[in-house]
Structure formats: C-alpha cells, structure tokens
Structure 1
Amino acid sequence: MYSDRALVIGAGFAGLLAARVLSESYGDVVLVERSVITTDAGHRAGIPRAHHPHPLPARGAQALEALFPRIGRELENAGAVRADLGSDFLHRFPNGPAPRDHLGLSVLSMTRVTLDRIIRRRVLRLANVSLVDGVTVEGLLHDRGTVTGVHGRRGDRPFTDYADLVVDASGRDSRLVSWLAELGVHCPAPRIVNGHVTCASRLYEVNRDLELGWKNACEITHAPGTRRGGAVSSVDGSRWLVTLFGADGDTAPADDDGFLDHATSLRCPDVAEIVKTATPASAVHRSGNLRNRWNRFHQVPDWPRGLLALGDSVVSLDPVHGHGLTVTALNCAELRALLQDHDLAAEPLTFQRAVAKAARFPWTFATTADLGWATRRLPVRARLLRWYSGRVIAAIPGHRRVYRAYARVSQLAGHPVTLLRPAVLFRVLLGGKLSGRRPRATAP
C-alpha cells in the first residue's frame, strides 16, 4: 500500500486537469490511460469524438487559465483562434442572423489534438505526476467500504495499483456503474435525454481566396422545423473545421457528395463555398447517438470512500451545445477549492454533490433543446422552458440586448436569470413587433 497517493483513470482532458489539481494535495499522482501515448501528435482511439469541434468558451478558458497560467496565450501560439461571439461570429438562427456587434466575450477554437497536446505537456512536467499508458482498467480494489486502487491488464500482463484516492475521469465510456455494482453498490438509473442528433466533421485547408468576413460560423438546428445545421471553426491557424448536424432522423452524411449536398441546403452559403473550393485535410468523421446522460452518483448513500468521479463519467452532454469542456474545467476548479478544506477521500459525496450542482444549468440548457424532438408529451416545466427558449431564439435577430444575454448564458458566463430581466423579457415576449431594422454586420 502507498500513502499520500492519487490515481486518475483516463489521461484525456478531464484526467489531465484532475491530475493538475491533485498534484497540489498529493505527493504522488498517477494517470492510468487505456491508449498508448507515444507521440504528441494525432488522434487517440480513446477520444472517439475528437474529430469534432471542441470550442473553449470564455468561462471554460477562465477556469483553465486558473489551473495553467498563460495557457490561453500558449494555445494561440500553437494555432488556436480567438473569436468574439459578436463581431467575429456569424450565428444564424431560424428567424435570421444574430447581430454582429462586438460582445467582449470570446471563444477559443482549436482541434482536440492541439488542446490535449498542450495540456498534457504542462501536466507531465509536474514532478509528482506520472503516466502509465496501455492499461485497461477492469475494476476497483476495495476494503470494507473504501476503494484502495484498481486492477486490470497492461498488454498480456495483469495490472494492479493502489492509491489513497481513485478518480474516474474515463469519460463517456466509463464503466464505473458496473464496477460499483461488483462491490455491491448500486446507482440510480441514469437520466438520459436523446436528441437523436448526428454530426459529421471534416478539416479543410483555409482557402485564402475566400473573403468571408468572420472567423466562426454556426447555423443551429431547432425543433420542430429546422433539422439541419452546420458550423465552421477556424482552428490551428490555417484550417477550417466544418461540421454538419442532422436531427430528428436527418442523418449527417459521411460521403463526399452527401456532405456537399447537406452544406448546400443550409441558408449560410459560405459553408457550401468552403466545401466546394477548399482542399480537404482529413476524411469525413461521423458520430451518432449524441445523447445527454447523467449518472446521479450524488444520490448513492453508500458511495465508497476513496473514490471520486468527474467530467463525462458523471454528466455527458450532447456535444452540439459545446459545454463539455467547460463543465469539466468547472468540476476541477471545484475539486481544487474543496481540497483546501476537506479530505475528499473520506468525504467523497461532498464533491459528488458539488459536481451535480454545477451540472444543473448546462443539463437544462442542453436537454431543453433536445427534448424538442421528443414524441412523448413533456412535463409542464419542460414545456414552459421549451416555449420561452423558443421565444428567445425567435427574438434574437434584430435585438442586440437579447442576443447579448443569450450569448452570455449559453456560454455559461452569465446566470440564466439574465434572460428574465425586464429589458430582455419585454423584447422576448413582444418578439417581432419590436424588431424594426436589423443591424448590419460589422467588419471583423
């Protein structure tokens, strides 16, 4: 047995951030990763959705900067593109485009490969953090209600490692629920909301001949009538990441002709122009079943000591809404704060409750949108949220104040009550009656 030792399952974004936080409180931190990490470049099989956009909104960037000072500048030096959500963003809603005024609220866009490479480099420079890769964890070691380590295989050999604290950061494919069941600890059934959304993404080399007047663009799907959408992110300095969305059975295509046809059907012609004229830099990668799932670990009364879970292992959100990285970064910020006053190995539910609290609004935001595609009758609260969010989206074109409030809330940078303040509420409820002239796009 070891003392003062923490073990993190998974060396993706969540695991790396958790290791960074734990390095301040534990003498030895070990990352245990299923994939073999032999180079700083390339996609890893352990992150199947890494080919799709992973924007880092303002609040997520702020949380990341607190853990890794000057990380924003380092990401930009590596090619990440910072785009203001107003002046640099072409955001098209079903009723028309959002105003293009400068908001002072930005998004960092990069490929997931670049993000993980920079953060992994930072974390593995820490003297008390180490990485053991190529390990398939198959279960938890335990003793009288306390998790004491993990067991599994590394190649063709058994693998066993002990720790005072085990953190599951293994993501959407986490097997923690079944591992706990093997210990006699049973979790409530997860909450699942499936928007039946698919997305297909492809990288393109930037075509300098196209003068687009924006850095990022997004055309949203919106129930019940807008089943197709798309997005373009400027990433890694000289590339565009084009992503097409299909909802309610309208599947995003993975073949060249279908990809172009889908892009051409969007109301933003720039997306199709990129697909037609820019040089592809990757194959088309498609993902389906983009559901929302919440494992309610905070409701397990006999949750074992010595075990924490965070990130997508607990709450995995439909990535179309772009909240995953931010929620994970906020989990790790909360972990850092709680470790100052609590022995979380002895009080793990203190942390799991904090994770649940942080997830409430992102969960509501994502599922309110995705429940629009549901065929069953929704509860009254869900219907009210759907109704009001629909009014907000309808009011955005032509209303700077509504879009500013919506942008802050959707980026988790503002409290949801912002959308109920009188100046916003008045415009939302009157809708098009106050729209008047729509503001012209400003130069980037």
Structure 2
Amino acid sequence: MSTAESRTADYDVVISGASVAGCAAAILLARRGARVALLDRRSDPAAYKVLCTHYLQPCALPVLKELDLVEALEEAGAVRNEARWYTRWGWIEPKPGPDGEPLPHAYNVRRQTLDRIVRERAAATPGVDLLLGHTVVGLLRDGGRTTGVKADCGGSGERELRARVVVGADGKDSATARLAGVPVKTHANERFSYFAHFEDLELVGGITQSWFLEPDMAYAMPNDGGVTVVAVIPSKERLPQFRADLEGAYLDFVRDLPEAPAIDRATRVSKIIGTVNYPLMSRRPASPGLALIGDAALTSDPLWGVGCGWALQSASWLADVLAPVLAAAGGADEIDKALAGYGRRHRGALRGHQHLIADYAKGRPFNAFERLMFSAAARNDAMARHMHLFASRLVGPLRFLNPGALLRALWVNLTHRPTRPVPAPAPSGESPRFRTVA
C-alpha cells in the first residue's frame, strides 16, 4: 500500500479481541504512532476470561514492564509467583542462586483483575479506539490479501473497517482465522481440568504448590484479593467419577494430594468450573495482511499456565516488527515481509515448547528424559533452578535438555544418597518414632 493508499484506510491496524493479547498489541502499536481499532464482541468493559490459570509466566515480565503494568498489578494485589513442585522423588523447591541472584518471577493474578487493568490502559492510549460490542463477521480481501474487517455492531447494524493490517486476537476458536481460511493443527488433550477459588487457604511458604502425580496433575496458586485457585487436572480415565459427582470427586482429589492443602478449613468462594475437552491448537501466525497472536495463533495445555505469557510475548513480537514499517508508510510488500518475520520469530520461540507440551498432553507418565530431569531437580538446587528457568519459559527445550544439563542430572542421580527411615528416641513405653536421614 502506498502512502496515498494508506490514507484511504480507516486504521493502520484493526485488532479483533480486546483481551490480554489484543490490548497489549494495541498499546504497543499505538505508542509507536499507529492508528488502531480494538474490537471486542462483548459490550461489557469489565468482561474477562473465566477459564484461565490466572498465571503470568516470568517470560512475560519484560512485556509487562514495556506496558508499564507492573506497578498497577502490584497495587491491585498481584502475587509474585514462586512455586514448589511435588514429584515421586520429593519436592522440587527452586531457590536463589549461590550468589544471591533472585529467581525470575512474574505474577499470579485473576483475569477479572488483569483484563480490567490492561483494557483500561488500552482505552486510555492515544491512537487506540476501543470498539466494544463489535463482532467480526467477515474479512475484506484484495487479491488474496486481508485489507479490513466487516463487523456486526449489534443494534447499529454492520460496518466495514479498512486497515493496513488485521490482527486476530480472538482466542482459540478465532473467528478471524476461520474467516481467513487459516488451517489449524490440533492435538488431543487426554486430561481435563476443574478449579475453584478459596479464601483463607494456607499453603506451605505461602507460595504456589504443584503436584506431578503421573499422569494426574494439580496445583494451588495464591492470587490477588486473598484468593487461592485450586485446580485438579486428572487424566480422562477419571472422567466418569467427575461426571457422576463433580463436587465430591473434586474435593476428594484435593484431599488425597500428598501434603494436601486444608481445603476443609478454607472457604470456597466460587463454583467448581472447568472443561473436559481442551485440545491444543496451532495456526500459521502470519499471512498477507493478517497476523494472529495469543491463543488465536497457539493454544496450549492450561496445565502449564503459558497462555497469558505467550499472549503478551506474541503481541510484543508483532509490534516490534510491524510498527517501524507502519511508521515509514511502507507498502503492502514491506508490511507482509514484516509479518512473515513475526511468524518466523513466533515459531522459533514457541514451536519447541508446544511440541513437548503436546506430547505430555497424551496423559502419560513421565518419559525417561523427564524422569531424569525431575528427579535431579528434586535432589539438587542447581538443577531445581534450571528446571525453574525452563518452567518459566525463559530457556527453550534445546537448552533445557542440552548435553551438559543431562550429564549434570545423571551425576546428581548417581551420587544421590536416598533417605531412609531410622528410629528416633521415644519416651519409655511408646513405639519408636521415625525420622529420615540422607
């Protein structure tokens, strides 16, 4: 599109979906001079995604800082995320490095808090027009290139919005991707999930607890407002129990966890909600005139809590490559080259993670590599920190499983002295009590 043609467009960018990814992209693009229309089918400015892990991975912290959201999140009570993970070899408890270097963190924050903050920030950003109650029902095309959207404005009828770029940020069932004919690759998820919110739930150390039960999974995660999210993620072999008695099966599952949180002494403040079918999906992130970000590009397993972090990262990657071309009034060819660059960056950063996640979504126990790394992380502080970096998506699979790390894990396990029970002194007339020694 030439400079003259760009003036005929209503906007530089039209974004469908005003949730985490869409709002972040709108803010970052508008700050760099783009004219942005941010559409959402919901008319309520306080709307938020309910089915979510409410977790921002440490990989997203640089984007939160770029968006100037850290202070607002902390003022709203977002909890810096620390975690300990139960395995059959014991607890993995990442700690700061020997030099005192803190562990990377981001935040546990409920979507009702996060979505409101980021949407308000987008609406207040000069250059962003927030258009609520606008549902994308069609795409404008010119010679195979996306050039705008047709939106249903509710009682106001339909309108067309031309743009130099259209961005789909409308979730895993993206209407934008479907209308553009973008193919989707699907991986079955052989686990299901249910969660509820509790108040006054005590957790060891006051931090997130996760249980890898092979193949089942659970976590308890403190959030803003003094609320703790407790999720159970069993394999589908357990589904009949939950369908027969959801509340009973959910509560029994949590009570049976090793060192289980005392949910019977806490107050449940939400319904038990969840999903029995949440497939993993991936789509090509970019095509001429079109980009997909967040879950529209890549929907992963909620077990790992990567969705919000990857939504923020993908929004930032898109803005990094697209904003300079838009500011220079680049034509369609230049814009599409930038979009292709975004697609390469997205695939290079996330494809390896998604491959491993999709394989574990088969509902299987740990494989040999996972047994090696998880057992070593439960036994060695350096390996626990290495695991933390990978779980935070700050290192990729190749670095996580590099030969040096594998040899270190093997050495840790070969030299480990297992704990064994030994009798402790007992008062006269009582049976010996047991303690463990390394």
Deviation at 1:261, TM superposition (A): 0.8
> After alignment, is 249-258 or 139-148 more displaced?
249-258
Note if 1:259 corresponds to 2:240: no
**Partner residue, 1:126:** 125
Question: Which of 389, 392, 396 is 2:377 aligned to?
Answer: 396
Task: Return the letter of the residue paired with 2:18.
Answer: A
1:232 and 2:220 are equivalent in the alignment: yes
Deviations along 1:49-68, whole A, 9 cap, x unmatched?
A: x34322112221222212x2
1:206 is displaced (CA, Å) by 1.9
Structure 1 pair 420/202, CA: closer, same or farther in 2 (3 Å)?
A: closer
| Counterpart in the other structure of 1:345 | 335
Q: Distance in 2 between matches of 1:131 and 1:32?
A: 6
Larger radius of gyration: 2
Q: How does 1:352-431 map to 2 (within 5 A)?
A: 352-371=343-362, 373=364, 386-420=367-401, 424-430=405-411
CA contact (8 A) 2:136 2:151 kept: yes
Give the aligned partner of residue 279 of structure 2. Answer: 291
Aligned mates of 2:257, 2:73 — CA distance in 1: 31
* 1:211 to partner: Cα distance: 6.7
Residues 165-184 of structure 1 mapped to structure 2, 5 A cutoff: 165-181=165-181
Q: Does structure 1 residue 317 correspond to structure 2 residue 300?
A: yes
Measured at CA, do residues 159 and 72 of structure 1 come closer, stay the same or move farther in structure 2, by a change above 3 Å?
same
Structure-1 separation of matches of 2:142 and 2:250: 53
Q: Which secondary structure state, in structure 2, belongs to the residue aligned with residue 294 of structure 1? A: strand
Q: Identity over aligned residues, as a percent?
A: 22
Task: Verify the 8 A CA contact 2:215 2:364 in the aligned structure 1.
Answer: no
- 1:20 is matched with 27
Amino acid at match of 1:395: A
How far has the Cα of 1:292 moved from its partner?
A: 1.5
Alpha-carbon contact 2:208-2:222 (below 8 Å) kept: yes
Please say if 1:192 is aligned against 2:192: no
Structure 1 residue 78: Cα displacement: 0.2
Task: Report the count of equivalent residues.
Answer: 395
Match of 1:34 in 2: 41
Displacement of 1:390 in angstroms is 3.0
Partner of 2:134: 135
1:218 equivalenced with 2:210 (yes/no): yes
1:111 equivalenced with 2:101 (yes/no)? no
Structure 1, gaps ≥5 residues long: 182-186, 375-384, 439-444
Alignment correspondent of 1:436: 417
2:268 to 272, 280, 305: 280
Please say if residues 193 and 274 of structure 2, whose CA atoms lie closer than 8 Å, have aligned partners that are also in contact.
yes
Deviations 1:356-412 (A, max 9, x none): 2222232123123224539xxxxxxxxxx9431232123322122222111101211
Are 2:206 and 2:222, in contact at CA under 8 Å, matched by a contact in 1? no
SS of the residue aligned with 2:268?
coil
CA RMSD of aligned residues (A): 2.5
Paired residue for 1:11, among 1, 18, 26?
Answer: 18
Q: Which moved more, 1:390-399 or 1:126-135?
A: 390-399
Aligned to 2:318: 335
1:151-186 CA-partner distances (Å, limit 9, x unpaired): 1322242232222221111111102343124xxxxx
Corresponding letter in the other structure for 1:105: P
Deviations 1:29-51 (A, max 9, x none): 1111011124x3xx54xx3xx34
- 1:96-144 CA-partner distances (Å, limit 9, x unpaired): 2113533522241111111111111111111211211112211101122
| Contact kept? 2:198, 2:268, Cα under 8 Å | yes
Seen in structure 2, the aligned counterparts of structure 1 residues 94 and 290 have a Cα distance that, compared at 3 Å, is farther
Deviates more, 1:194-203 or 1:329-338: 329-338
1:213 is aligned with what amino acid? G
Q: How far has the Cα of 1:15 moved from its partner?
A: 0.5
Tell me which residue corresponds to 1:378.
Answer: none
Q: Please give the secondary structure, in 1, of the residue aligned with 2:147.
A: strand
Alignment partner of 2:335: what SS?
coil
Note the alpha carbon deviations across 1:388-439, whole angstroms, 9 max, x for none: 123212332212222211110121112434434566323433564322267x
- One-letter code aligned to 2:209: A
| Aligned partner of residue 52 in structure 1, secondary structure | coil
Aligned position for 2:87: 93
Residue type matched to 1:15 in 2? G
Residue deviations 1:210-229 (CA, integer Å, cap 9, x gap): 473332111124xxxx2332
SS at match of 1:131: strand
Whether the 8 Å contact between 1:330 and 1:358 is mirrored in structure 2 is no
Unpaired runs of at least 5, structure 2: 1-7, 97-101, 420-438
The answer on whether the counterparts of 1:137 and 1:152 sit within 8 Å (CA) in structure 2 is yes
Residue aligning to 1:184 = none
Task: For 1:37, give the aligned amino acid.
Answer: D
**Other-structure match for 1:377:** none
- 2:153 is the counterpart of 1:144: no
Other structure's SS at 1:18 match:
helix
Counterpart amino acid of 2:335? A
Match of 1:74 in 2: 72
CA 365–309 in structure 1, closer or farther in 2 if over 3 Å, else same:
same
Query: Secondary structure in 2 aligned to 1:268?
Result: coil
Residue 110 of structure 1 aligns with an amino acid whose one-letter code is V
How far off is 1:328 after superposition? 1.9
